Every structure is written in structure tokens, then in C-alpha cells.
């Protein structure tokens, strides 16, 4: 029966291959041995981060946020506003203020993941339900693909400047047809950037501590060097060198300021939902709070200011306010056709800016997309595999055809925030006002009706309906902003797009909370005390988050651990010996 032996060998080989490509499951974890654990809802990347992976201290988060904020996105957000007619001072104040607000929202949505050591896809199950979380996951994944490709294109443009600085003939590669909408050097640089990006993607996010520290120093030095060069070249510069081309009415000015504010929110809106994918590696919950609140607004305000000042210098010198960094760097390079030392300096600056785009892609696009597809296909996908797929899809969308001017850039930033805003609002309201920090980790991996997060057939209809309803008011204005010549709506409706983030966040949050007031959920088991923000930052709960306390307190796990109650128990009372 040789044929039977051959069949058995082939079958065994097939089974071995399947086991090889399956995503690994967590080992030696009490969660796996829990009766509620279901392999359909978890693998090694979706399970709560084990103690050995909780490496991010408060200084790591500070370095991360400084590295992220001190990037090209903040620079171009400020400079691009100048090209649409907003006065520099108003643009800067609007952007800086919006980043303060967005930082607060980032911190709010990072608390739960930092305490329970779970990423966004798992955290979304608490508000959207086991199957309903797929709605939030897919919405975020789509945005990650588009932004991953876009940032890679921008990074590639900076890489073109860097390579041209060392090899001048690089800029003279055979041209592509005009229909390609991209030059040969930029296309080659784009693929080089992607290759480097994929290589770094194989480093696990928990191990990127020193990468972000080094990047933050390198980029900050480069941005200061660029600013100093332009200020010296222009013999001093102020906001006065950028004047609005045409006088505008008071009403138009107000809407431009609101547009700037909305753009500022859009530049960092992804972090309001992505924060969980980094906060899960916190050594303790307080580590992701104060350094974020302090580091991000300050670090993001500087590049925005520098972008406006360099745009002002460009207007003074050339008559053109350069809004993107590759044009800024390319102009610098053109001033030194034969000075090798100066060209090497431009090379370093261009590499630093390209590295900035790469780091932002890792934190806000590649890693989140990897987490999302892992949640969609936990048997087969891991974060690293998802990151590779994200890179491939980022190439497939042909990003250089999406953005080629300041107006398109601003539209994309604002649309980004509008799309993710209701998700961030619902998760915040659910964690703080509805569940009051009370989550049951085992139920997050239980895909049966007995799960606390099963709701109706695995979907929390409240979250799904509120998300859709919140997006509807600004949908026509979004369509108009993308295709103004094809979509015709009233002028007042057009302006809704310029307040889309705040509007959708408010509508989604208010409707979601009202739904629980009108239709209370049974057996929610929450503590009625209010959350105190000072308690959130108290680091005295570190002992509570140790291995033994986190996994061995069986009764607390089954009934849901109250986030604030345990902190209260550990805060020394007046007159105590502690």
C-alpha cells in the first residue's frame, strides 16, 4: 500500500507546514489556561503583553513622543497653512493649541491599554463588542495603508535629496513618462525607503526604545540646522515676511483658523486610537501619562514654528514660501554645487528628515496595521507579517498621485482625523464614564455569548450606530473637499469639514453616553465613584501590576478589576505609616 503511505506522508507534511505558518500562541500564560480563552480571538501578539515585554518607562515614552512630534508632519502642517492664505501667527497658535487638545485625548485612550497591557484591537472589543470591533479595526487599517504609502513617498523625496547630495548624477536618471506623475529618482528613492522600512519593521516595537531616543536627537539637531541656515541666508526673518496675498473677510478668517485647528488635530488624530499599541508595553500605567502630556505639545510646537519661519525666509529670498521639506532641502543643496562639506551637511539633514518619516510610519501606520490584521486573522497573522503587508499595500495605492500640493495635503490631514474621531470618542467615554476603568481581561478573549463583551451577537449596536451617525453630518463636506468641482453643496455645508474632528468626536461621545443613560446595560458591575485624573498618574499601583497580582487574583479577574478602586486601596491614607 505504497500509495497510502505516500498519502499519509503528504498529509503529515501539509499539517506540518500549516503548523509552521500559523501564528504562535502565548505559552505559559494563565490566560491561555482560563476556560474563557478562545484561540479564535488571540495569538502571541494579541494576548496581554507579558512582564518581560513591559520595557517602556516614562523616559521611553518621553523620547518616543519627542521623536514623533519633532517630525516632518508638524513642520509641513504649519508651513502648508501659509500657502492657503492664513497669517503665520494665527496658523501657529491654532496648530499649537490643537496639539494640546489632541495630547489630552491621546492620554485618555492610552490609560486602559497601559493598565491591562492590551493593544487597540483588543481594547476596542470593550466598547464595540467581539465582532463589532472589526468595524473600528478595518476603519483604522484603511487609514494606515494610505498614510503608510504617503509618508513613505515623502520620505523617499527626502532620500532623493540625500542621494543627490552625495551622487549628483542621481538626479539625472532617465526620465519617466509624464503620466507616471513621478520622476525616476523619486521612484527609485521610494523603493529604497520601503526596503529600509521593511528591514526595521522586523524589529519588535517593544525593542525600539533606543531607536526613538537616537532618532529624536538626530532629527532635532537637523531641524535646528535647517532653521539656522535659512535665517542666516535671509539675514533674519519674522512672521512679517509672509503676508496674506489678498485681504479676507472676518468670517473667512475665522473659518481659516478653524481649518488650521482641525488640521492640527488631524496631524496627530491617529494617536488617539494608536496609543494603545505602544502603551501596552508600559512598565506601569503612570509611565504613559505625564511625559506624554508634557513632551508632545512642546516638541510638536517647535517644528511647526520652524516650518512657518523657514517658509517666511523662503518667501523673502525667492518669493516662494516652501511648504515641504524636500523643496527646502533641495534649495539648500543647489547653493553648493562644488562644496563637498556643505553637501554632506545637507545629506545628513535629508537623512534625518527621511528617518523622521520612517519612525512615524512605524508607530502610527505599520505597527497599528499589523495589530489590526492580526486581530482579523489571529490564526495566521502576526504584527510583523502585517507590517510587511502594509508596506506592500502602501506601494499599491500609488501615493504620489494622491498629494502634490498644500491644499491636498491639508485636506488629507483633516479627513484622517474625521474618520478616526468617533472611534476615539466612543472608546474614551466607554472606559471612563460607562465602565469606569472596570475591564475583565479573560472576557476579551471569549467569543461566546457568556462574554461580558458579547453584547448583541458579538456587536455593541450602540457603538456601531453612534459611529455611523457621527460621520454623517460632515460626509458631504468631506466629499466636496476631495472633489470640489464634482460635488456641489451649500457654502455653509462646505465649512463643516473644517470642524469635522471636534464635531464628530462630540456627536459620537454624547450619543454613546446618552444611549447608556436611556438604555442602561444590565450587570455592568461598575463602581459609582468618579475617576480622578491625579489618581491615574499615581505610580503607586506598580505593585498591583506585578505578575502575581495581575494574573493570580482570580476573583478580581472574573468580576472585573476596578481601575481606580485598586489604586485607592494602595494610596496611603492620612496618618498612615507609608
What is the tens place of the pLDDT at every residue in 338-370? 899 999 999 999 999 898 888 888 878 888 898
pLDDT in tens, 420-446: 899 999 999 999 999 888 888 888 888
The region of weakest confidence among 251-255, 462-466, 479-483 is 479-483
Q: Is the pLDDT confidence value at 405 over 70?
A: no
Whole-number pLDDT of residue 577 = 37
Confidence of residue 188 (pLDDT cuts 50, 70, 90): very high
DSSP of 398-440, one letter per residue? Answer: -GGGT--SHHHHHHHHHHHHHHHHHHHHHHHHIIIIISTTEE-
438 forms bridges with which residues in the sheet?
562
pLDDT in tens, 538-574: 443 444 444 434 444 444 444 444 444 443 443 333 3
How far apart are alpha carbons 80 and 7 in whole angstroms?
65
Contact 538, 571 (CB under 8 A): yes
Whole-number pLDDT of residue 333 = 93
Whole-number pLDDT of residue 339 = 92
CB atoms within 10 A of CB 262: 25
Whole-number pLDDT of residue 158 = 92
Confidence of residue 470 (pLDDT cuts 50, 70, 90): very high
Q: Is residue 327 in some structural domain?
A: yes
The region of weakest confidence among 141-145, 190-194, 238-242, 414-418 is 238-242
Distances (CA, A) of 542 to 545, 552, 568: 5, 16, 13
Average pLDDT over residues 257-283: 81
Confidence of residue 192 (pLDDT cuts 50, 70, 90): very high
User: Which domain range does residue 248 map to?
Assistant: 57-404
When mean pLDDT is compared over 96-105, 185-194, 236-245, 387-396, the highest value belongs to 185-194
Q: Is residue 486 in some structural domain?
A: no
Q: What are phi and psi of 470, to 5 degrees?
A: -65, -30
Q: Is the pLDDT confidence value at 505 over 70?
A: yes
Q: Is residue 256 in some structural domain?
A: yes
Q: Is the pLDDT confidence value at 185 over 80?
A: yes
pLDDT in tens, 33-42: 555 556 678 8
Whole-number pLDDT of residue 526 = 45
Buried b (16+ CB within 10 A) or exposed e, 41-50: bbbbbbbbbb
The region of weakest confidence among 151-155, 410-414, 549-553 is 549-553
CA angle 208–211–216, rounded 5-degree value: 125
pLDDT in tens, 48-92: 888 888 888 888 788 777 767 666 667 777 666 766 667 777 888
Total domains present in the chain: 1
Confidence of residue 248 (pLDDT cuts 50, 70, 90): low
Buried b (16+ CB within 10 A) or exposed e, 28-40: ebebeebebbeee
Whole-number pLDDT of residue 363 = 77
The region of weakest confidence among 232-241, 297-306, 307-316, 550-559 is 550-559
How far apart are alpha carbons 153 and 155 in whole angstroms?
5
Confidence of residue 411 (pLDDT cuts 50, 70, 90): low
Q: Is residue 380 in some structural domain?
A: yes
Q: Closest Cα to residue 535, out of 124, 120, 123, 115? A: 115
Q: What are phi and psi of 562, to 5 degrees?
A: -80, 120
Whole-number pLDDT of residue 27 = 65
Q: Is the pLDDT confidence value at 135 over 50?
A: yes
Residue with cell 484561540: 39
Q: Is the pLDDT confidence value at 26 over 80?
A: no
How far apart are alpha carbons 224 and 306 in whole angstroms?
8
Average pLDDT over residues 372-399: 86
253 vs 36, more confident: 253
Q: In CATH, what number is assigned to the domain containing residue 346?
A: 1.10.4160.10
Q: Is residue 129 in some structural domain?
A: yes
pTM, full prediction: 0.80
Whole-number pLDDT of residue 136 = 92
Q: Is the pLDDT confidence value at 128 over 90?
A: yes
**Quick one: DSSP state of residue 124?**
T
N-term to C-term CA, the chain? 77
Average pLDDT over residues 248-267: 78
* Cα within 13 Å of Cα(377), Cβ side: 12
Q: Is residue 166 in some structural domain?
A: yes
Confidence of residue 281 (pLDDT cuts 50, 70, 90): confident
Q: Is the pLDDT confidence value at 308 over 50?
A: yes
Q: Is residue 236 in some structural domain?
A: yes
Confidence of residue 126 (pLDDT cuts 50, 70, 90): very high
Contact 242, 315 (CB under 8 A): yes
Instruction: State the burial class of residue 100 (Cβ atoms within 10 Å of its Cβ: 0-12, 13-18, 19+).
Output: middle
How far apart are alpha carbons 247 and 354 in whole angstroms?
37
Q: Is residue 85 in some structural domain?
A: yes
Amino acid at each position: 500500500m505504497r500509495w497510502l503511505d505516500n498519502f499519509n506522508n503528504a498529509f503529515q507534511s501539509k499539517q506540518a507546514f500549516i503548523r509552521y505558518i500559523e501564528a504562535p500562541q502565548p505559552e505559559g500564560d494563565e490566560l491561555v489556561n482560563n476556560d474563557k480563552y478562545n484561540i479564535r480571538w488571540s495569538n502571541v501578539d494579541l494576548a496581554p503583553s507579558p512582564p518581560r515585554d513591559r520595557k517602556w518607562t516614562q523616559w521611553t515614552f518621553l523620547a518616543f513622543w519627542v521623536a514623533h512630534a519633532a517630525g516632518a508632519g508638524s513642520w509641513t502642517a504649519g508651513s502648508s497653512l501659509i500657502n492657503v492664505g492664513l497669517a503665520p501667527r494665527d496658523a501657529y497658535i491654532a496648530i499649537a493649541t490643537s496639539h494640546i487638545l489632541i495630547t489630552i485625548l491621546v492620554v485618555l485612550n492610552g490609560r486602559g491599554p497601559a493598565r491591562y497591557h492590551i493593544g487597540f484591537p483588543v481594547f476596542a472589543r470593550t466598547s464595540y463588542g467581539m465582532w463589532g470591533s472589526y468595524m473600528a479595526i478595518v476603519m483604522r487599517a484603511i487609514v494606515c495603508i494610505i498614510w503608510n504609502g504617503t509618508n513613505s513617498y515623502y520620505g523617499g523625496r527626502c532620500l532623493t535629496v540625500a542621494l543627490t547630495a552625495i551622487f549628483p548624477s542621481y538626479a539625472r536618471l532617465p526620465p519617466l513618462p509624464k503620466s507616471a506623475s513621478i520622476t525616476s529618482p523619486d521612484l527609485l528613492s521610494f523603493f529604497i525607503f520601503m526596503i529600509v522600512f521593511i528591514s526595521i519593521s522586523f524589529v519588535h516595537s517593544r525593542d525600539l526604545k533606543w531607536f526613538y531616543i537616537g532618532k529624536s536627537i538626530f532629527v532635532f539637531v537637523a531641524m535646528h540646522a535647517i532653521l539656522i541656515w535659512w535665517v542666516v541666508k535671509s539675514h533674519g526673518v519674522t512672521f512679517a515676511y509672509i503676508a496674506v496675498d489678498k485681504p479676507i473677510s472676518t468670517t473667512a478668517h475665522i473659518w481659516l483658523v478653524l481649518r488650521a485647528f482641525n488640521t492640527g488635530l488631524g496631524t496627530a488624530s491617529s494617536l488617539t486610537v494608536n496609543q494603545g499599541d505602544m502603551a501596552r508595553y508600559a512598565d506601569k500605567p503612570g509611565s504613559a501619562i505625564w511625559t506624554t502630556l508634557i513632551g508632545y505639545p512642546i516638541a510638536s510646537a517647535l517644528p511647526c514654528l520652524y516650518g512657518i519661519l523657514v517658509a517666511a525666509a523662503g518667501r523673502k529670498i525667492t518669493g516662494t514660501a516652501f511648504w515641504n521639506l524636500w523643496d527646502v532641502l533641495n534649495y539648500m543643496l543647489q547653493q553648493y554645487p562644488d562644496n563637498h562639506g556643505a553637501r554632506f551637511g545637507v545629506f545628513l539633514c535629508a537623512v534625518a528628515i527621511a528617518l523622521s518619516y520612517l519612525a512615524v510610519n512605524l508607530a502610527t501606520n505599520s505597527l497599528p496595521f499589523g495589530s489590526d490584521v492580526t486581530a482579523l486573522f489571529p490564526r495566521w497573522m502576526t504584527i510583523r507579517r502585517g507590517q510587511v503587508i502594509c508596506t506592500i499595500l502602501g506601494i499599491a495605492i500609488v501615493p504620489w498621485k494622491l498629494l502634490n500640493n498644500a491644499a491636498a495635503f491639508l485636506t488629507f490631514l483633516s479627513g484622517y482625523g474625521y474618520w478616526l474621531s468617533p472611534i476615539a470618542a466612543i472608546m474614551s467615554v466607554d472606559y471612563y464614564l460607562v465602565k469606569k476603568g472596570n475591564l475583565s481581561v479573560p472576557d476579551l478573549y471569549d467569543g461566546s455569548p457568556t462574554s461580558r463583551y458579547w453584547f448583541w451577537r458579538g456587536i455593541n449596536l450602540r457603538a456601531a450606530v453612534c459611529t455611523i451617525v457621527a460621520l454623517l453630518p460632515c460626509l458631504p463636506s468631506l466629499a466636496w473637499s476631495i472633489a470640489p468641482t464634482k460635488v456641489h453643496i451649500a457654502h455653509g455645508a462646505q465649512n463643516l469639514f473644517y470642524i469635522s474632528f471636534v464635531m464628530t468626536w462630540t456627536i459620537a461621545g454624547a450619543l454613546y453616553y446618552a444611549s447608556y443613560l436611556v438604555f442602561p446595560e444590565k450587570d455592568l458591575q461598575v463602581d459609582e465613584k468618579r475617576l480622578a485624573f491625579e489618581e491615574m498618574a499615581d505610580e503607586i499601583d506598580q505593585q498591583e501590576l506585578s505578575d502575581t497580582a495581575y494574573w493570580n487574583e482570580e476573583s478580581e479577574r472574573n468580576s472585573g478589576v476596578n481601575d481606580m478602586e485598586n489604586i485607592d486601596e494602595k494610596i496611603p491614607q492620612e496618618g498612615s505609616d507609608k
